Amino acid sequence: MCRRRLVAVLFLAASFATAAIAADKKDELVPCEAYESIGVAHMDQDGVIVLRIRSLPPGPIAEGEFRYAPGDPEYDNIKQHLGGIAPGESKSVRPWC
């Protein structure tokens, strides 16, 4: 009977240790550069760039759609960040790090 208790105690201790390690790993921040994409960009036929993007962990999940028309002060910056984009084209959006 004593051997069973010892095995049970060791099993519980190992389970708690595993759970603690998993919790620590979950709370670690993943660098922004590790993410390949935060969403999708599409350029309409009229040149409007539409970004459908989401936030990165660990913060709250947020998603949004942003539209940049030619003449918008950020239009050229967005287009450059995408590596260029043409009307009718869709591209993955890498994070701004």
The bridge status of strand 39-43 relative to strand 90-93 is antiparallel
Contact 81, 74 (CB under 8 A): no
* Bridge partner residues of 10 (DSSP): none
For residue 61, give every residue at least 6 positions away whose Cβ sits within 8 Å of its Cβ, in sequence order, or none: 54, 55
pLDDT digits 0-9 by tens, 5-43: 444 444 434 444 444 444 455 557 888 889 999 999 999
In the block, residue with structure tokens 């051997």? 3
The full set of domain ranges for the chain reads: 1-30, 34-93
Give the global pTM. Answer: 0.68
Question: Tens digit of pLDDT for each residue in 68-85?
Answer: 999 999 999 999 999 999
